[in-house]
Amino acid sequence: MRIHREGFTTLLITTIVLLGLNIGLHYIGIPLWLEKSIQVISLVFFVIILQFFRNPIRTLVSDANAVVCPADGKVVVIEEVEEPEYFQGKRLQVSVFMSPFNVHINRNPVSGTVSYAKYHPGKYLVAWHPKSSTENERTTFVIRTDTGKEVLFRQIAGALAKRIKWYIKEGQRVNQANEMGFIKFGSRVDLFLPLDSKINVQIGQKVKGGITKIAYFA
């Protein structure tokens, strides 16, 4: 299993803490059944943290006429909304909820130039809360394609996700499906697309970052 670089420090700290806990309890002399139970729980906890930072090998999509999913998870929103931060007009919103058991790498939905990038501090409402898109800690990025289409997407922190990482900046040229960031633990990603886009997913559908085609441009 490949591990994402964002997990190295967390896994090292987790290993040290769990080893220290189990060694300390062994020398204290707790009952054998309790010691074994704590060892099993520690192992299960470590495996959960390990799988969270997994970085699977994938054959990524490259399609200039499509918007690919920026994250693994489940589609929880498909609707026409007002986007006030950048477009200040109506757009089609598609939101993907990422549970703690999903791969949490975020990817560029399209190729092009980053025309807008901004970080917003904020709250930590649960990721599926309607106001999380505008009130939670988040980032906003807009990528302009070579054909002039603009796609806005947001990384949104959730109740558990309190660290958003991003690797792209305004003015940078980016490639579709390449890594653009990472959100630690449960979270959400929003996409805002042109109104004439043809949506290719449904509410409740499980999607994969860099693989699932969320929509097609008109």
Matching residue, tokens 């987790």? 14
Q: Which residues are catalytic?
A: 187
Collapsing DSSP to helix, strand or coil, 98 comes out as: strand
Q: 126 CB contacts (<8 Å, ≥6 apart)?
A: 132, 158, 159
Q: What is the DSSP string of 138-194?
A: EEEEEEE-TTS-EEEEEEEE-SS---EEE---TT-EE-TTSEEEEE-SSEEEEEEE-
Q: What is the DSSP letter of 4?
A: -
Beta carbons of 92 and 112 less than 8 angstroms apart? no
Structure tokens at 15: 């290993």
Beta carbons of 68 and 153 less than 8 angstroms apart? no
